Structure 1
């Protein structure tokens, strides 16, 4: 069985509540965000956001996913900046 969500090195998956710390780190890398600007958010704000994303109903117009390394299951990045 193959999935277009899984590649050789990374897979795309839904955001889990435990991803809050990783997404907080990604947002702190302003250079990596390019021209996207997000206001500062507290650690609690990221925990609430990640929990909301984990339980949100699918929206065909907007996908926010985690990029995960296949071998290590480490969250390698967001598919879109948190917002």
Structure 2
């Protein structure tokens, strides 16, 4: 039996496919969840959602900066996505973002997806530190990062505007050594 670096106990990280448009489009209906991930934007049409899904599926593969779908291992139900960004090869750092659709939250999908993505970035791509920015009002994500063993490294005060108020952004970091001690 073969094993995949992209499969955990509950989730499988996979490429985004054109047929994923419907699930991603539905996730955008929860304005609070969208705000917690980045920023609220006007609704998009079905045509635009389909077009965006095709464009994502056809993007050139980048080994360090990518977006993957998070699907359940058991039945391949799309539950969210994880992406890497802000790649700094000189210093060996990267950031990531994660979004799990509201109906699929609090089931362990996000934590497992983060652990899988970090394992790849640390042990296959030779990065030495992962960073994540979390909005100060996103209690679930703050708790998730603490639970995963991330260190709270700083706070940018009043740097994010959402729902009529300014909010702090909290910076979390984890080094490859911290990851290996906990997950290797």
TM-score by length of 2: 0.40
What's the CA shift for 1:3?
Answer: 1.7
CA distance in 2, matches of 1:28, 1:61: 30
Cα distance in 2 between the residues matched to 1:38 and 1:61: 27
Give the counterpart of 1:78 among 72, 81, 84.
Answer: 81
Over 3 Å counting, the alpha-carbon distance change for 1:8 and 1:62 in structure 2 is: same
Matched, 1:62 2:65: yes
| Greater length-normalized contact order (CA 8 Å, ≥ 6 residues apart) | 1
Q: Could you say if the C-alpha distance between residues 28 and 67 of structure 1 is closer, same or farther in structure 2, counting changes exceeding 3 Å? A: same
Write the deviation string for residues 25-52 of structure 1: whole angstroms up to 9, x where unpaired: 1222222230511422211111001001
Runs of 4+ off more than 3 Å: none
By how many angstroms is 1:64 displaced? 1.4
Larger Rg: 2
Aligned length: 81
Q: Which has the higher strand share?
A: 2
Q: How high is the TM-score relative to the length of structure 1?
A: 0.83
* Alignment of structure 1 residues 34-73 onto 2, 5 Å: 34=36, 36-40=38-42, 41-73=44-76
Give the 3-state SS of the residue equivalent to 2:54 in structure 1. helix
Unaligned runs of 5+ in 2: 83-97, 100-184
**Residue 2 of structure 1, CA deviation:** 1.7
